[in-house]
């Protein structure tokens, strides 16, 4: 029989997901007369903007993750549980998880987004996503294993497959990832693989539209393409992927790239929980919410961050899936939930756009802050400063800073270790099974 | 058909294993007119003395590992390959691996040691070893998962199983691991798990002989036991394990400890390669070698480090399995191989004992340097200094130093993340399969 976690006397808010939005919301409920329960399938918060540096060996995974329990240290009204959510039971005001059923007064869905393969199963099976730490580590292992395998390849086609690295999607993640691989080639491979002919190592960035960084200014778009070319990345705009079988990437116009590494950053989709009103799911698998983040068709269910589509005239598909939007929604929803519980009027959400930035490589970044636009070394320092400040935890800031200073002066990347070998078709177990291990021992 | 890597004109030395001994040997062959091939199943060197800190969340895995390719950067006569060795073919002067057959003039086995369960399969299946980075990370995940599971345990026996942590074996690893778990309990758990009754968390250290740290002085033995008791570890000497089924640890005298976490540090055995003269394998699964590290019954096969048993009057089971012995043997063997290739006489190995040390916790360590023996805070600083200096790579020294300073002042441990969930009976794939990934894609 499933364990049940019944409500007490205080109003209970259950938050699903410990990303930027969920954390901000939970923190703002500190010291309120409200019971807060946070559920996440991991016991840590992931700083997604730096996942690409973990994948390319620049940072250790532990540096960009932070234990959720530590974030809420001393917050007496909050209970944290590692579990995976199965479905919402709106009629019961309860949510079913792998460890039991939690009742709620208000439910907040802050589950974020995952890679969107747009229904192309073959690509999904063969390309590498990079939206979580285990995925970034898998990608790191694959990159390094391919380099090792290329040392002993006996035919040219196999060698080409191993040494062609393709990034699909020219948004910030795609630009940053292809730039980082190019720097790995430039500074690290010549030392690590003296027998390797570096001319055989090719990095491709494929983008369907006519320009990179579609959401940024024309200056930023032009300059990022220029920076990538300087680093030796082959930028292919107006190019769409037809199919990928793990060996050959075929473009819609018929061009073929032999490659065993395709990194997918071409789109994301919301992680929706089963049991919601089906009409609320809109474009991008996001959940349609009103101006106070309430999900369409529900009275006491809310969604914030990447999974939420708060549709406005300016943003007909909802606000962009970036950390500031999630944080602002989390903060506003906390205030509104306090108001709702206290029978006070709510305030509609207002988005404050903080601008956008992307880094291509050493001394090369692009920054748009409204009308202020700059590129190059100052933009690069700005990018580093903003990312360091946004990282959760002083230890993480310190360790990332030490690593970046070290890499800057040594032209090196510290952590190119194949710690868990990557096996295609054998991804990490997605769920931390919270049953006592003794029971698992029986199953296995 | 298996790929063959034939010898060229120069004499070729194949070294299996990139531990302390193998690295020292290979480095000393730099700039010699000799072809050196190093084979290892990982692409990194592991600093084993700090594995317990990775397992207990004090250090990140990347901080105590170092890319082997980087260690040999610029060493033109060395080729490195990631592969697993299958067997020696002494009659062919060749060694078979997962990527093909390597011919050699001289073969050096520096494969180290692994956990010894003394043939007790049930214990081997259920207890946690800690001899490699993936094993240490598995253990970290298990410790943290058990704490999460204990939050929702509904019966007292399950709770006891999850919160009793047992370390078997009172050598340096066992002492250091049980001390580290005790500090985790003392400084971290009370903040991370405010609902948890810390009195329910118990740490046991089980040792078969009458004292801990059998190889050290009586002062060190007494003091380490005192330090552990201060930290709240239940030290059980004169206690032997009868069986462990994943839930109950039963001692020979009939006592039972309910526990789902048994960390095995009760013994090691050499990792011997198939195909050697069977008579050469002696106690502890080590390979018997003569005074120049040559394996009994072979002309051009050598063994150094943990896997080698160089039997002397003072050391009837061979030298202790510690880093200094391996490094000294590697250095001496390099000189002797150069002499053998140059038709010069060889020199017998002489062991220089550098003493022994173990740390129990903050400000608590024991050090024996021959007749000089000290314990406490100065010993603790000595232990940290020696370990920092022995770590390979400046970046690693820096990151470990930053982490230790941070932990000292914050009483915190940075990296308690369940990055890859531990599933019993589902250990890491042991081999980095060096076949091109496209072939694996077919298999899966």
Of A429-443, B148-162, B219-233, the one with minimum mean pLDDT is A429-443
Domain extent, residue A141, equals 121-266
Helix (H, G, I), strand (E, B) or coil at B71: helix
Same-domain pairing of B300 and B330: yes
Q: Judge if B260 and B137 occupy the same domain.
A: yes
**Residue A393 lies inside a defined structural domain of this protein:** no
Question: Domain holding A288: CATH number?
Answer: 3.50.50.60
Give residue B424's pLDDT: 66
Distance from CA of B205 to the nearest CA of A (A): 21
Instruction: Search chain A and give the residue with CA nearest B4.
Output: A152
Instruction: Examine the fold and report which residue of B232, B266, B300 is the final residue of a domain before the chain moves on.
Output: B266
- Has residue A414 been placed in a domain? no
Q: From the CA of B148, how many Å to the nearest CA of chain A?
A: 7
Residue of A nearest to B82 (CA): A148
Residue A278 counted as domain residue: yes
Position A412 confidence tier, pLDDT thresholds 50, 70, 90: confident
Same domain, A261 and A299: no
Asked if residue B126 and residue B258 are part of one domain, the reply reads yes
Find the residue in B nearest to A143 (Cα). Answer: B437
Residue A306 lies inside a defined structural domain of this protein: yes
pLDDT band at A22; cut points 50, 70, 90: very high
CB contact under 8 A, A417 and B145: no
- Residue to substitute from B1, B30, B41, B43, interface A, most A β-carbons within 10 A: B43
Q: Establish how many alpha carbons lie within 13 A of residue A317's alpha carbon, considering only the half-sphere containing its beta carbon.
A: 9
User: Of the residues A220, A244, A266, which one is the last residue of a structural domain?
Assistant: A266
Does residue B400 form part of some domain?
no
pLDDT for A351-370, tens place per residue? Answer: 999 999 999 999 999 999 98
From A318, A341, A364, the end of a domain falls on A341
Distance CA A281, CA A298 (A): 13
The DSSP string of A419-442 is SS---TT-PPPSS---S-HHHHHH
pLDDT band at A11 (very low <50, low <70, confident <90, very high): very high
Does B311 lie in the same domain as B183? Answer: no
Rounded CA separation B282/B291 (Å): 16
CA nearest A350: which of A312, A321, A386? A312
**Is B61 in contact with A193 (Cβ distance < 8 A)?**
no
How many residue pairs from chains A and B have C-beta atoms closer than 8 A?
226
> Is B347 part of any domain?
no
Determine the residue among A188, A420, A439, A442 to mutate to test chain B binding: the one whose Cβ has the most chain B Cβ atoms within 10 Å. Answer: A420
Which residues of B does the annotation mark as catalytic? Answer: 176
Q: Are residues B207 and B283 in the same domain?
A: no
Could you tell me if A103 and A153 lie in one domain? no
Rounded mean pLDDT of chain B?
Answer: 91
Q: What is the pLDDT of residues B295-337, one digit of tens each?
A: 999 999 999 999 999 999 999 999 999 999 999 999 999 999 9
Instruction: Check if A176 is active-site.
Output: yes
pLDDT at A171: 95
Q: Which helix (H) or strand (E) holds A257?
A: strand A256-258
Mutation for testing the A interface, residue in B438, B441, B444 having most A CBs under 10 Å: B438
Q: What is the pLDDT of residues A50-105, one digit of tens each?
A: 999 999 988 888 889 999 999 999 999 999 999 999 999 999 999 999 999 999 99
Identity of the residue in B152, B162, B437 whose CB atom sits nearest the CB atom of A99: B152
Nearest to A65 among B151, B412, B417 (CB): B417
- Residue A199 and residue A307 in one domain: no
The answer to whether residue A418 is domain-embedded is: no
Verify that A59 and A161 share a domain, yes or no.
Answer: no
CATH code for the domain of A200: 3.50.50.100
For range A422-443, the mean pLDDT: 39
Q: Identify whether residues A259 and A125 lie together within a single domain.
A: yes
Contact A423 B410 (CB under 8 A): no
Residue A222 has pLDDT above 60, yes or no: yes
**CB-nearest partner of B436 from A61, A63, A149:** A149
Q: Would the CB atoms of A436 and B162 count as touching at under 8 Å?
A: yes
DSSP state of A102: E
Same-domain status, A225 and A276? no
Which of helix, strand or coil describes residue A359? strand
Tell whether B47 is covered by a domain: no
Q: pLDDT value at position A443?
A: 26
How many separate domains does chain A show? 2
A438 vs B161, B416, B438: nearest CB: B161
Cα–Cα distance measured from residue A68 to residue A403, given in angstroms and rounded to the nearest whole number: 23
Residues in A closer than 8 angstroms to B404, CB to CB, are none
Verify whether the Cβ–Cβ distance B152 to A100 is below 8 Å: yes
Mean pLDDT of the residues in chain A: 91
Same domain, A137 and A238: yes
């Amino acid at each position: 029989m499933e364990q049940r976690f019944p409500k007490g006397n205080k109003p209970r808010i259950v938050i699903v997901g410990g990303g930027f939005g969920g954390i901000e919301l939970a923190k703002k409920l500190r010291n309120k007369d409200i019971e807060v329960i946070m559920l996440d399938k991991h016991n840590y918060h992931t700083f997604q903007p730096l996942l690409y540096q973990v994948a390319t060996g620049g940072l250790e995974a532990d540096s960009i993750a932070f234990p959720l329990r530590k974030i809420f240290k001393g917050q007496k009204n909050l209970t944290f549980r590692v579990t995976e959510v199965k479905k919402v039971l709106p009629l019961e005001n309860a949510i079913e998880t792998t460890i039991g059923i939690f009742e709620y007064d208000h439910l907040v869905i802050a589950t974020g987004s995952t890679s969107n393969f747009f229904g192309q199963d073959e690509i999904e099976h063969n390309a590498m996503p990079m939206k979580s730490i285990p995925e970034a580590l898998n990608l790191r292992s694959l990159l390094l294993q391919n380099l090792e395998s290329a040392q002993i390849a006996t035919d040219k086609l196999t060698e080409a497959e191993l040494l062609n690295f393709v990034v699909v999607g020219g948004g910030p993640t795609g630009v940053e990832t292809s730039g980082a691989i190019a720097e790995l080639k430039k500074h690290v491979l010549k030392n690590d693989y003296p027998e390797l002919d570096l001319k055989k190592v090719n990095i491709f960035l494929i983008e369907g539209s006519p320009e990179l960084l579609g959401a940024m200014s024309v200056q930023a778009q032009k300059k990022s393409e220029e920076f990538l070319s300087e680093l030796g990345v082959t930028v292919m705009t107006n190019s769409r992927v037809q199919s990928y079988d793990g060996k050959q990437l075929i473009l819609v116009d018929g061009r073929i790239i032999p490659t065993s590494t395709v990194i997918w950053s071409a789109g994301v989709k919301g992680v929706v929980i089963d049991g919601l009103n089906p009409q609320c799911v809109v474009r991008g698998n996001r959940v349609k919410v009103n101006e106070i983040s309430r999900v369409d068709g529900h009275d006491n269910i809310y969604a914030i961050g990447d999974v939420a589509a708060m549709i406005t005239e300016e943003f007909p598909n909802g606000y962009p899936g970036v950390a500031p939007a999630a944080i602002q929604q989390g903060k506003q929803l906390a205030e509104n939930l306090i108001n709702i519980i206290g029978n006070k009027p709510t305030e509609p959400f207002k988005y404050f756009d903080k601008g956008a930035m992307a880094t291509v490589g050493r001394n090369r970044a692009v920054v748009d802050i409204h009308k202020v636009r700059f590129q190059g070394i100052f933009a690069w320092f700005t990018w580093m400063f903003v990312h360091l400040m946004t990282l959760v935890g002083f230890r993480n800031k310190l360790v990332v800073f030490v690593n970046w200073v070290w890499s800057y002066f040594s032209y090196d990347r510290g952590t190119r270790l194949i710690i868990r070998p990557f096996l295609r078709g054998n991804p990490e177990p997605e769920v931390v099974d919270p049953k006592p291990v003794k029971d698992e021992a029986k199953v296995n």
